[in-house]
Amino acid sequence: MQPEIFPVMLVGAGPGAADLLTIRAARAIESADALLYDALTCQEVLDLAPACCLRIQTGKRSGQTSMKQETINRLMLRLARRGLKVVRLKGGDPSVFGRVGEEKAFLAAHGVPAEVVPGITAASAAAAQFGFPLTHRGEARRLLISTATVTDGGLLQGGWASAADPETTLALYMGRDRAAEIAAELIGHGRSAATPAIAVENAGRPHARAISATLGDLATVLEAARPTGPMVLIVGEVASQAEVAALPLPLPRLMRRA
């Protein structure tokens, strides 16, 4: 008799703190038989899983060796076919640079259903934690979320002109080490070098750090700050409202249900 196949849950872990998980995400983790999690998932979130849950760290951290996507896909499939409740836990929102489309399509092609559980993305966490909006009447009419680099680590080619509008807030992911090139592209396409910018490292976590600059001096400021954690770059007038000097307070722990 074939075991029952449960939908694979593709779950957004948010920016890190367990109390920023959705209730649906927390419940999925608490009922998991197998948890495939990204390298940046914090221990507080992992502790929500049952003691008997199989935990597999899949890597997926920029600049470091990580499990290949094909291996992750086949691992999810194999565990699901064994009748386990599989949770693929991703930082932020799985639909924002989380390869959720690839994983969902792979599972569907092999007859396994999948369910996506959204999470808070880094740009939203950064804005909330450091007190600035992503859109603002009279200053920012639109929000553009983009990756700064492509698969091989090279700078994104094309699309920079769409970020030149002074009323656009640009949120750039995976651009920490390419700040000079990013600024050159934006300025070259007409964005003012005086545009406020803020780089938020470890957004949403108690040890998050906000680094304020203008677009023109962003690379120099970041080089002096020497960030090592995951970072989102926010470029736009709204960045001038950031409360950079405010020390982020530790967030309350998520209470587990009895």
Q: Is 199 helix (H, G, I), strand (E, B) or coil?
A: strand
Q: Terminus-to-terminus CA distance in the chain, angstroms? A: 34
Q: Which of 9, 76, 174, 231 is catalytic?
A: 174
Q: What is the pLDDT of residues 48-77, one digit of tens each?
A: 999 999 999 997 555 556 789 999 999 999
Is there a catalytic annotation at residue 174? yes
- pLDDT at residue 256 in the model: 45
Distance CA 249, CA 19 (A): 14
Are the CB atoms for 147 and 97 separated by under 8 Å? yes
Is there a catalytic annotation at residue 60? yes
Task: State how far the alpha carbon of 169 is from the alpha carbons of 62, 129, 146, 156, 255, in Å.
Answer: 24, 17, 11, 18, 35
pLDDT at residue 22 is higher than 90: yes
112: left (phi over 0), alpha (psi -120 to 50) or beta: beta
User: At 30, phi and psi to the nearest 5?
Assistant: -65, -25
pLDDT at residue 158 is higher than 90: no
**Pick from 58-67, 96-105, 108-117: least confident:** 58-67
Q: Which of 79, 101, 70 is nearest to 35 (CA)?
A: 79
- pLDDT at residue 79 in the model: 98
Local confidence band at 105 (pLDDT 50, 70, 90 cut-offs): very high
Distance CA 88, CA 27 (A): 13
Give 51's contacts (C-beta < 8 A, 6+ positions apart).
none
Local confidence band at 154 (pLDDT 50, 70, 90 cut-offs): low
Local confidence band at 250 (pLDDT 50, 70, 90 cut-offs): very low
Domains and CATH numbers, the chain: 8-117 (3.40.1010.10), 122-241 (3.30.950.10)
Q: Please compute the mean of the pLDDT values over residues 223-247 and round it to a whole number.
A: 88
Name the maximum alpha-carbon separation found in the chain: 67
Only one residue has tokens 């959705």, namely: 22
Q: Taking the model in full, what pTM does it have? A: 0.86
Average pLDDT, the chain: 89
- pLDDT at residue 159 in the model: 75
Q: What is the pLDDT of residues 131-146, one digit of tens each?
A: 999 999 999 999 999 9
Q: Which of 38, 85, 93, 231 is catalytic?
A: 38
Q: Which of 60, 85, 90, 104 is catalytic?
A: 60
User: At 59, phi and psi to the nearest 5?
Assistant: 80, -120
